[in-house]
């Protein structure tokens, strides 16, 4: 068995062709989707970057592993304390560590651990390949390392490669000579001139106003970001830049896939395509950022092509990304690690049977302090620190009718809010009763002065 996990940073599913996007951003990814299971309600439990990958690799919610933010105490994974042995448990119980226990050679091609000083991310990997740009690299710099690793290892058996491309992460650094294949294509229908005018009035993290400031102080170094957003037509710069980054990355993903074909291992290699988080493209008035516990930030793609698994099917159940570790264990005939919070959806991969959850609780403590409940057609968001975004304490959105979170129904539908708060309290009770610590790291962030990026924005 060979497993390639494509970890595509900041990639929201609804900007991929296989998820219905009208622009041709992802022809190579779309081909893999035809050969596997596509998940439509797949979410990172904790957002953004550091909390998400910490949850994925540890198999635990941020409230359990301790990582919910990008700075302060809640940016470090909790120590095991007096019960720690010569090696800590993460060495064996992380996602890659559990695969290594099953005889897999595990490798990561990523600068993520260095970018966030998240050294425990590397636990369980035999090889860590870091090209040394701290997340500032583009696909053309990552690709040669990936192709060389596959040339050296690809035709061997029992390997797991975590391959991380960064291109859809702001700022979008697609080389200027790549051009803009979407220059003549329409904007998303929901982003009307009326919506644009409302968003112009907002002054918050990564609002249009803030994006214009960033263009002067930071983004000017990347030519695609240098323009001020003053009129409605200027807004396409953000959408086009993001889509160009996805298409550019997809081109390089295609070269990785062709290498597997050259080596003669494509058919019996499992290919998983997902992301650490999404990217707000106007939701809540936020652009080019992943700073909330909402649909734009927390919903991510998952395409799961498994040898002898189902082909061309769709799973609409609710799943966390941290469900991946127990799913792989189940598919490989191994028991679930007791410390994992996830639950397997392997039956969806091989039988087409639903294995979704009744609800999800999503957390964000890097830009804001929020917890959200995703259930039925609803997304309920509760803000403990609004990150200087002027969010009300409660927001409620009907995602079927309002997928881009434009109409807050919290005052109108108090009954749904109360149901969501009940779910949130039940989840919190379960989390707190199943851990050795009596401290919720969300409140650690609050007590240390609030979310890291909110402090930066306030300055």
- Rounded to 5 degrees, φ, ψ at 273 are -125, 120
Split at pLDDT 50, 70, 90, the class of 456 is confident
pLDDT at 356 over 80: yes
Averaged pLDDT, 25-53: 98
Q: pLDDT band at residue 355, thresholds of 50, 70 and 90?
A: confident
| pLDDT of 399 over the 80 cut | yes
pTM for the complete prediction? Answer: 0.97
Question: pLDDT (tens digit, 9 = 90+) per residue, 70-97?
Answer: 999 999 999 988 889 999 999 999 999 9
pLDDT for the residue 309: 97
In the predicted model, what is the mean pLDDT of the chain? 96
Rounded to 10°, the helix 236-262/139-153 angle is 20
Is the pLDDT assigned to residue 434 strictly greater than 50?
yes
Q: Is the pLDDT at 219 greater than 90, yes or no?
A: no
For 364-388, how does the pLDDT look when each residue is reduced to its tens digit (9 = 90+)? 999 999 999 999 999 999 999 999 9
Token duo for residue 403: 């997928």
Q: Where are the alpha helices (DSSP H) in 107-225?
A: 112-115, 139-153, 193-200, 208-217
User: Of all helices (H) and strands (E), which one includes residue 360?
Assistant: strand 360-364
Task: Please check whether residue 31 is in contact with residue 263, taking contact to mean a CB–CB distance below 8 angstroms.
Answer: no
Instruction: Kindly state the helix (H) or strand (E) to which residue 326 belongs, with its residue range.
Output: helix 324-331
**pLDDT tens digits for range 196-205:** 999 999 999 9
* Residues 251-267, mean pLDDT to the nearest whole number: 98
Q: Is the pLDDT of residue 444 over 70?
A: yes
Q: Helix/strand/coil (H, E, C) string of 75-125?
A: HCCCCCHHHCCCCCCHHHHCHHHHHHHCCCEEEEECCHHHHCCCHHHHCCC
């635990």: which residue's tokens? 60
Give residue-wise pLDDT tens across range 148-172: 999 999 999 999 999 999 999 999 9
3-state secondary structure (DSSP) of residue 202 = coil
Q: What is the pLDDT of residue 375?
A: 98
Q: Give dist(CA 367, CA 387) in Å, integer.
A: 6
* pLDDT value of position 458: 64
Residue 251 near residue 139 (C-beta atoms within 8 A): yes
pLDDT, mean of residues 130-141: 90
Give the mean pLDDT of 322-340.
97
| Region 324-347 average pLDDT | 97
Residue 221 tokens read as 């170094």
pLDDT at 445: 98
Which pLDDT value is given to residue 459?
Answer: 47
Confidence (pLDDT) at 43: 98
Where do the domains of the chain lie, and which CATH numbers do they carry? 2-173+238-458 (3.40.720.10)
- pLDDT given for residue 220 in this prediction: 84
Length of the chain: 459
| Burial (Cβ within 10 Å: 0-12, 13-18, ≥19) of residue 340 | buried
Q: How many helices (H) and strands (E) does the chain have?
A: 16, 15
The more confident residue out of 388 and 456 is 388
222 has a pLDDT exceeding 90: no
Measured between alpha carbons, how far is 216 from 228 in angstroms, rounded to an integer?
Answer: 9
């Amino acid at each position: 068995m060979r497993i390639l996990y494509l970890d595509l940073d900041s990639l929201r599913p609804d900007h991929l062709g296989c998820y219905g996007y009208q622009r041709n951003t992802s022809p190579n990814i779309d081909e893999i989707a035809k050969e596997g299971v596509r998940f439509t309600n797949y979410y990172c439990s904790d957002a953004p970057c550091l909390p998400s990958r910490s949850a994925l690799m540890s198999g635990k919610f941020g409230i359990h592993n301790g990582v919910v933010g990008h700075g302060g105490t809640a940016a470090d994974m909790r120590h095991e304390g007096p019960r720690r042995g010569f090696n800590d448990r993460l060495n064996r119980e992380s996602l890659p560590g559990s695969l290594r226990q099953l005889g897999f050679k595990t490798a990561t091609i990523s600068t993520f651990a260095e970018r966030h000083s998240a050294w425990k991310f590397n636990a369980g990997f035999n090889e860590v390949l870091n090209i040394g740009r701290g997340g500032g690299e583009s696909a053309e710099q990552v690709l040669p390392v990936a192709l060389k690793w596959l040339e050296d290892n690809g035709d061997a058996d029992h390997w797991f490669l975590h391959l991380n491309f960064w291109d859809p992460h702001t700022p979008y650094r697609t080389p200027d000579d790549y051009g803009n294949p979407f220059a003549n294509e329409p904007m998303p229908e929901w982003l009307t001139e009326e919506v644009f005018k409302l968003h112009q009035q907002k002054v918050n993290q990564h609002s249009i106003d803030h994006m214009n400031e960033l263009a002067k102080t930071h983004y000017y170094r990347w030519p695609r970001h240098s323009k001020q957003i003053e009129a409605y037509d200027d807004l396409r710069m953000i959408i086009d830049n993001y889509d160009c980054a996805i298409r550019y990355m997809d081109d390089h993903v295609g070269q990785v896939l062709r290498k597997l074909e050259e080596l003669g291992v494509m058919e019996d290699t499992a290919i998983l395509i997902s992301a650490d988080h999404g990217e707000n493209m106007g939701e809540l008035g936020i652009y080019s950022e992943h700073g909330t516990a909402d649909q734009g930030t927390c919903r991510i793609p998952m395409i799961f092509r498994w040898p002898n698994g189902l082909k061309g099917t769709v799973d609409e159940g609710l799943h966390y990304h941290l469900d991946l570790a127990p799913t792989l264990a189940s598919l490989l005939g191994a028991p679930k690690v007791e410390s994992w919070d996830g639950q397997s959806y392997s039956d969806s991969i091989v039988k087409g049977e639903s294995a979704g959850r009744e609800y999800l609780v999503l957390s964000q403590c890097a830009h804001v302090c929020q917890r959200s409940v995703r259930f039925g057609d609803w997304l309920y968001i509760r803000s403990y620190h609004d990150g200087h975004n002027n969010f009300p304490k409660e927001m409620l959105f009907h995602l079927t009718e309002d997928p881009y979170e434009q109409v807050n129904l919290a005052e109108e539908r108090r009954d749904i809010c109360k149901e969501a708060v009940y779910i949130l309290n039940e989840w919190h009770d379960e989390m707190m009763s199943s851990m050795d610590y009596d401290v919720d790291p969300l409140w650690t962030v609050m007590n240390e002065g609030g979310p890291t990026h909110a402090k930066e924005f306030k300055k």
